Amino acid sequence: MSESYKFEGWVAKNKDSVKGQLVWEEYTPKPFEETDVDIQMGEESDGDADGMAEIEAVRDLSADTLSFGLITHCGICASDLHTLRSGWGETDYPQVVGHEIVGKVVKVGSKVTHLKLGDRVGVGAQAGSCLNCEYCTRGDEPYCNKGMIGTYGGRFPDNSKSYGGYADYTRVPAHFVFKIPDGIPSDIVAPMMCGGVTVYSPLKQGGAAPGKRVGVVGIGGLGHFALLFGKAMGADMVAISHSKSKKADAEKMGVKQFISTHDDENWSEANARSLDLIVCTANNSDMPIQKYLRLLKPGSSFILVGAPEEPLPQIPAFAFISHNVFLGGSLIGGTKIIEEMLQVAVKSDVKTWIQVRNMKDANAAVVDMDAGKARYRYVLVNEKHANL
């Protein structure tokens, strides 16, 4: 059976795509398997009769093994930019980026039990893993012994490519597709699928809770999520930024203290040993890590989630030894962490700070994102499917 829809999206052909040179065209997704789900991009459905009639028509075509639905929104992540310009290594062009996807199921394999026709779902930055190793079986799929497969830029076992959400449709193994709880608007939740869980995971692992003081380096797309989720977890949040330009925004997000590394004299010494955890979302390779480490209490950790394209500065061993502090990193989050994050977002009414952009204007949105204009996440909306 052939699908009644085509896989079309904004395709990156080379490194210049990050300059607003994505091309809208058709591409070939991975072969469909009975453990897969297809998702259609479009504006959030209000459940109108015409839209549901179209979904039911697709169900009739699919017999018992398939069901269908829609994708509505896709956030723009800094990872998209790094990939578009091959900043983290040569990209496997052609490529469709986007791994903060929300929509509705349009096709689901017969072996999928947790999703059904028309479910509103989300997809994050992972689309595959072995599912059998010790890390996969405990819900830490990003650390799979055989390596994770990205929602875009990856290769499945049959060597077919994974493609992301700047598109009309995407095809993803159902294990990595999540039902979105009622009460979170699609545009608000889309950036949580990568940006949100990327910081929620280290906050959880690092013990963010009432009575703890948690610092966040970099108040951007990731950093603002760290402030919002850290506050939701009950911690006292401290924003650490180069300048005071985002101080007012950080205060609206509930921070207890704002540290400007450019404007506050002797900021490292003045705030020494005051933090129980630091989550670093910055992407600049020249960050003053040694000074950040001084902010930590003995036994505490500095966790990197931002990934600069250039090497970090050298750090002497005594920066760690003399203060009993730890340098670590964290990569997105597994299925259990994503489910937990979504529940926390509902319970604490976490609201992403977003600016909505039309999917047809993705090139302009990418250029603006690369210029640092987002406050604090751009979300693409595919308005051509507004009635589904």
Q: What is the tens place of the pLDDT at every residue in 107-155?
A: 999 999 999 988 999 999 999 999 999 999 999 999 999 999 999 999 9
Nearest to 8 by CA among 163, 187, 218, 114: 163
Q: What is the Cα–Cα distance from 260 to 240, expressed in whole angstroms?
A: 6
For domain 195-329, give the CATH number.
3.40.50.720
pLDDT band, very low/low/confident/very high, at 241 (cuts 50, 70, 90):
very high
Which of 62-66, 101-105, 187-191, 341-345 has the weakest average pLDDT?
Answer: 62-66
Q: Would you state the pLDDT for residue 383? A: 82
Q: Would you state the pLDDT for residue 183? A: 92
Longest Cα separation, the chain: 69
Q: Would you state the pLDDT for residue 209? A: 98
> Quick check: 50 pLDDT over 70?
no
The predicted-structure confidence for 180-191, as pLDDT tens digits, reads as follows: 999 999 999 999
Q: What is the Cα–Cα distance from 307 to 176, expressed in whole angstroms?
A: 23
Q: What is the pTM of this model?
A: 0.92
> Quick check: 385 pLDDT over 80?
no
Q: What is the rounded radius of gyration, in angstroms, for the C-alpha atoms of the chain?
A: 21
pLDDT band, very low/low/confident/very high, at 371 (cuts 50, 70, 90):
very high
- Where in the chain are all domains bearing CATH 3.90.180.10? 8-193+353-385
- Where in the chain are all domains bearing CATH 3.40.50.720? 195-329
The predicted-structure confidence for 247-296, as pLDDT tens digits, reads as follows: 999 999 999 999 999 999 999 999 999 999 999 999 999 999 999 999 99
> Quick check: 42 pLDDT over 90?
no
Tell me, what amino acid is at 26?
A: E
Domain 8-193+353-385 is in which class?
A: alpha beta
